[in-house]
Amino acid sequence: MIRSVSNDDNLEEVFDQIGVGADLKKSKSALIKINLARPPENGHPRTDPTLLTKVIQYISDYGANCAIAEGADGFLQQNIEHVGLE
């Protein structure tokens, strides 16, 4: 099933509908592959920090641990801080 979510949709509800919450309850862990190899700039879209925050909160609400994966040549922490997600 492919599901599209707009800014007005309840992301948590959509995740629950497709079984993400149930999987988090079982596995207690999640890996998020983001697109933040460098900070966002015009013409080079990146993972939206607001969306990333919502996803991390959703995972946390299920008591699961979360890891973030990105090939940022050692600059992932700086890139995350740059978008306000210390």
pTM of the model: 0.79
Pairwise CA distance, residues 49 & 62, whole Å: 20
Q: State the DSSP string of 8-61.
A: TS-HHHHHHHTTHHHHHHHH-EEEEE---SS--BTTB----HHHHHHHHHHHHH
20 within 8 A of 12, measured Cβ to Cβ = no
Report pLDDT for 23: 93
Mean pLDDT by 10 residues, the chain (86 residues): 64 89 94 85 82 91 92 84 82
Report pLDDT for 39: 74
